[in-house]
Amino acid sequence: MAGLVRFSVSLEKELSGKFDALIRKRKWQNRSEAFRKLIKQELIEEEWLKNEEVAGAIVLVYDHHRRDLLHKLTHLQHDFSKLILSTQHIHLDHHNCLEVIVVKGRPTDAQRLRDALKAIKGIKCGSLAAASTGERIP
Ligand code: NI
């Protein structure tokens, strides 16, 4: 690997044991791979904290029979059309729908959209998966 930097890490014995157990559970190849994954996850968290451009997905579950719900849901997504890249709708059963709204933009806008969606009566759950555009993550 080009530009590889090596450094040593000191850990308490108990923490080191828990770290190795986590590496086995997650099926990571070794401690170096584990550190790379953990550092990247922290860098993504920093992007969200600094309100840099990020990507993510809002997942909703709702009963489509609820009056006005679909109208409100569509109206809100049109208000945030610059933030939304795509929407996928899955009919889970006779009543329930799952919708995945993929977003790219400022974290504060993504959180505003999630909160506005969750405020609609009949939305059973709404969560935001925080990811990255990948541009600032090596
Ligand atoms: Ni449906």
- Of the chain, the percentage scoring pLDDT greater than 90 comes to 96
pLDDT at 1: 57
What is the distance in A from the centroid of ligand 1 to the CA of 112? 24
Q: The tokens 């504060």 sit on which residue?
A: 108
CA-based Rg of the chain, rounded to a whole angstrom? 20
pLDDT digits (tens, 9 = 90+) for 22-32: 999 999 999 99
What is the distance in A from the centroid of ligand 1 to the CA of 61? 10
pLDDT digits (tens, 9 = 90+) for 120-133: 999 999 999 999 99
pLDDT digits (tens, 9 = 90+) for 16-66: 999 999 999 999 999 999 999 999 999 999 999 999 999 999 999 999 999
Residue 2 has pLDDT above 80, yes or no: no
What is the distance in A from the centroid of ligand 1 to the CA of 94? 8
What is the distance in A from the centroid of ligand 1 to the CA of 46? 35
Please give the C-alpha separations between residue 129 and each of 14, 38, 39, 58, 126, in angstroms, as whole numbers: 31, 17, 18, 6, 10
Q: In which band, very low, low, confident or very high, does the pLDDT at 138 lie, cut at 50, 70 and 90?
A: confident
- pTM of full prediction above 0.85: yes
Distance from C-alpha of 121 to C-alpha of 126, rounded to nearest angstrom = 12
Instruction: Give helix 69-79 / helix 107-118 axis angle, nearest 10°.
Output: 170
